[in-house]
C-alpha cells in the first residue's frame, strides 16, 4: 500500500511538472490588466511631478517614497485579515478596487500636492492590501518544488501589463498633446476591468480552512497581541526578512534611475514614458527562467545575483558617458534585477511560512522592503539635492555593495523545501 501511494504521488508530480494551475493563470491575467492601469500612471509621474509641477528632487524623493512605502501598516493588516478568515480573494479584491479609484483622485487633484499625495497614498494602500493575499494564493496553489516557476509565470504576465502600460501612456500623451487627464481616465477604466476579472475567474479560497473559533464544545485558538510579528519568531524567516530589508534600504527606485539616464543622454522628454519598456521586456523574458533556476539550484542564488545586477546599473551610470551603451545597459540590468528578485523572494519565503500564516508572513516581508525603500528614496532625493546626482549615486552603490555582503552571510545554509 505504501508503494502504491508513493507511485501515485510520483505520477501526479510528473503529470503536473511544467504546468501552472488555473488560479495562478487567473491571477496573472488580473495582474496583467491592473499593471496596464498602474504603469500608465507610474510612467508619467516623474515628468508630471518634476517637469510640469516643478518639484525639486527632494520633494519628488519624498513623494516617490510615499508611492512605494506608505503601505506598511495596511500591508500587515491585509495579510493578517486574509489569513484569519481564509478571505484571500475578498481582501485582494478590495485592494484592487481602491487602487482603481485612486486614478480618479489624481484626475480631480489638479496640481495640488495634498490631493496628489492622498491619491498616491490610496493607490499604494490598495497595492499593499492586495499584494500579500495574492501572493499567498499563488503560493498555496502550487507545489513547493514549483513555487519559483509559478511566481515566474505570474510575474511574466504581470510584466506584460507593465510593458503595455507605458506604451499606452506614450500613445495617449502623443495623441492628446500631453493631456495627463486622459492617461488618468484610461488608467481608471483598466483598473476596473482588473477587478471584474478577479471577481469572475479567481477562486474564492486557497489553502487550509480558517482555524475554528473558541466556543462551546469546540477547540480554542489562542490569540496573541504580537500576531502580526509572529513569523519573525522563525529564525529562517527572520534571516530572509533582514536580508531583504538591508538590500531594500540600498535600492533607490526606478524613477531616479530613469531620470539619471534622461539627464545624461538629454533626449526629448516625450520619450521618457518608454524607458520602463526596456526593463519590463527583459523582466518578461527572464522571469520564468529565473524562477525555474531558483527551483533547481536554490532561490537565494538568483536573488543575490539580481541585486548584483542592480549594483552594475549604478556603476554603469557612474562610469559611462552619454551613448547607447548607457541606455541599453541600465535597462538590461534593471530588468535582470526584477526578474531574479521579485517572485524569487516570495518563492524563497513561502516554504518557510506555515500555510495558516502565509499571507501574514509575506505581508511582513513586503512591508520591510517597502519601508526600507521609502527611506532609500527619501535619502537619495535629499543627497541629490544637497550634493548632486553623482555623489548621491556613489553613496547608493557603496550601500548596496555592503548590503549584498551582509545578505550573502545571512542567507547561508540549506533552504527549506
Share of the chain residues as helix, strand and coil, in percent rounded to the nearest 5: 80, 0, 15
Secondary structure string (H, E, C) spanning 17-74? CCCCCHHHHHHHHHHHHHHHHHHHHHHHHHHHHHHHCCCCHHHHHHHHHHHHHCCHHH
- C-alpha to C-alpha distance for 216 and 351, rounded to whole angstroms: 34
Looking at residue 70, its pLDDT comes to 59
Maximum mean pLDDT: which of 35-44, 196-205, 392-401: 392-401
Looking at residue 8, its pLDDT comes to 37
413 Rama sector, left if φ>0, alpha if ψ -120 to 50, beta otherwise = left
Q: Which residues contact 121 (CB under 8 A, 6 or more apart)?
A: 66, 70
Give CA angle at 226 (139, 249), nearest 5°: 65
More confident residue, 328 or 119: 328
Q: Which residues contact 272 (CB under 8 A, 6 or more apart)?
A: 43, 46, 47, 258, 262
Joined together, the cell numbers standing for residue 147 give: 513555487
Looking at residue 290, its pLDDT comes to 92
**Confidence category of residue 399, pLDDT binned at 50, 70, 90:** very high
Share of the chain above pLDDT 70, in %: 79
State pTM to two decimals.
0.77
Looking at residue 395, its pLDDT comes to 94
pLDDT tens-digit profile of 223-255? 434 467 778 888 999 999 999 999 999 998 888
More confident residue, 205 or 42: 42
Longest dimension (CA), the chain: 74
Question: To the nearest whole number, what is the mean pLDDT of the chain?
Answer: 80
396-415 average pLDDT score: 91
pLDDT tens-digit profile of 266-312? 777 767 767 877 888 899 899 999 999 998 988 999 999 999 999 99
Looking at residue 411, its pLDDT comes to 92
Q: Which helix (H) or strand (E) holds 226?
A: none
Q: Which residues contact 198 (CB under 8 A, 6 or more apart)?
A: 27, 30, 89, 92, 93, 96
More confident residue, 8 or 180: 180
Answer whether residue 184 shows pLDDT above 60: yes
Looking at residue 69, its pLDDT comes to 55
Looking at residue 212, its pLDDT comes to 40
**Confidence category of residue 65, pLDDT binned at 50, 70, 90:** low
Residue 302 near residue 413, CB atoms below 8 Å: no
95-114 average pLDDT score: 80
Looking at residue 121, its pLDDT comes to 77
71-89 average pLDDT score: 80
Residue 215's φ and ψ, nearest 5 degrees, are -175, 175
Maximum mean pLDDT: which of 37-41, 279-283, 395-399: 395-399
**Confidence category of residue 118, pLDDT binned at 50, 70, 90:** confident
Residue 184 near residue 106, CB atoms below 8 Å: yes
pLDDT tens-digit profile of 128-179? 888 889 999 998 888 888 888 999 999 999 888 878 887 888 888 888 876 7
- C-alpha to C-alpha distance for 375 and 26, rounded to whole angstroms: 34
Maximum mean pLDDT: which of 20-24, 61-65, 229-233: 229-233
Looking at residue 323, its pLDDT comes to 73
Instruction: Tell me the CA distances in angstroms from 57 to 255, 383, 386, 388, 405, one per residue in order.
Output: 11, 9, 10, 10, 30
Looking at residue 276, its pLDDT comes to 77
Specify the length of the chain in residues: 417
pLDDT tens-digit profile of 312-370? 999 999 886 667 788 889 999 999 999 999 889 999 998 898 888 888 899 889 888 87
Give CA angle at 241 (235, 244), nearest 5°: 140
Looking at residue 216, its pLDDT comes to 38
Amino acid at each position: 500500500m505504501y508503494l502504491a501511494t508513493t507511485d501515485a504521488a510520483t505520477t501526479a508530480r510528473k503529470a503536473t511538472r511544467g504546468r501552472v494551475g488555473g488560479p495562478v493563470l487567473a491571477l496573472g491575467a488580473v495582474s496583467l490588466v491592473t499593471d496596464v492601469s498602474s504603469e500608465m500612471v507610474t510612467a508619467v509621474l516623474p515628468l508630471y511631478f518634476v517637469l510640469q509641477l516643478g518639484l525639486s528632487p527632494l520633494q519628488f524623493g519624498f513623494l516617490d517614497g510615499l508611492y512605494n512605502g506608505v503601505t506598511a501598516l495596511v500591508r500587515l493588516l491585509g495579510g493578517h485579515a486574509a489569513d484569519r478568515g481564509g478571505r484571500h480573494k475578498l481582501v485582494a479584491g478590495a485592494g484592487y478596487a481602491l487602487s482603481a479609484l485612486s486614478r480618479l483622485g489624481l484626475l480631480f487633484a489638479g496640481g495640488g500636492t495634498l490631493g496628489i499625495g492622498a491619491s498616491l497614498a490610496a493607490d499604494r494602500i490598495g497595492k499593499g492590501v492586495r499584494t500579500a493575499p495574492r501572493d499567498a494564493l499563488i503560493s498555496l496553489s502550487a507545489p513547493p518544488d514549483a513555487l519559483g516557476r509559478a511566481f515566474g509565470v505570474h510575474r511574466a504576465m504581470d510584466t506584460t501589463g507593465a510593458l503595455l502600460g507605458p506604451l499606452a501612456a506614450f500613445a495617449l500623451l502623443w495623441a492628446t498633446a500631453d493631456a495627463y487627464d486622459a492617461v488618468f481616465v484610461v488608467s481608471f477604466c483598466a483598473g476596473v476591468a482588473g477587478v471584474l476579472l478577479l471577481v469572475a475567474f479567481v477562486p474564492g479560497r486557497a489553502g487550509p480552512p480558517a482555524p475554528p473559533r473558541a466556543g462551546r464544545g469546540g477547540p480554542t485558538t489562542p490569540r496573541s497581541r504580537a500576531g502580526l510579528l509572529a513569523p519573525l519568531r522563525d529564525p529562517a524567516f527572520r534571516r530572509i526578512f533582514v536580508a531583504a530589508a538591508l538590500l531594500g534600504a540600498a535600492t533607490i527606485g526606478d524613477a531616479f534611475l530613469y531620470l539619471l539616464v534622461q539627464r545624461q543622454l538629454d533626449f526629448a522628454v516625450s520619450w521618457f514614458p518608454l524607458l520602463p519598456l526596456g526593463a519590463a521586456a527583459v523582466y518578461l523574458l527572464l522571469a520564468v527562467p529565473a524562477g525555474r533556476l531558483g527551483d533547481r539550484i536554490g532561490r537565494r542564488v538568483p536573488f543575490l545575483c539580481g541585486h548584483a545586477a542592480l549594483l552594475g546599473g549604478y556603476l554603469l551610470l557612474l562610469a559611462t558617458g552619454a551613448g547607447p551603451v548607457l541606455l541599453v545597459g541600465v535597462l538590461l540590468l534593471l530588468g535582470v534585477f526584477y526578474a531574479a528578485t521579485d517572485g524569487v523572494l516570495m518563492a524563497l519565503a513561502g516554504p518557510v511560512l506555515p500555510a495558516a500564516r502565509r499571507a501574514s508572513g509575506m505581508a511582513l516581508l513586503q512591508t520591510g522592503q517597502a519601508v526600507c525603500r521609502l527611506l532609500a528614496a527619501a535619502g537619495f532625493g535629499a543627497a541629490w539635492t544637497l550634493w548632486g546626482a553623482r555623489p548621491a549615486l556613489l553613496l547608493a552603490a557603496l550601500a548596496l555593495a555592503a548590503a549584498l555582503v551582509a545578505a550573502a552571510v545571512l542567507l547561508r545554509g540549506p533552504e527549506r523545501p
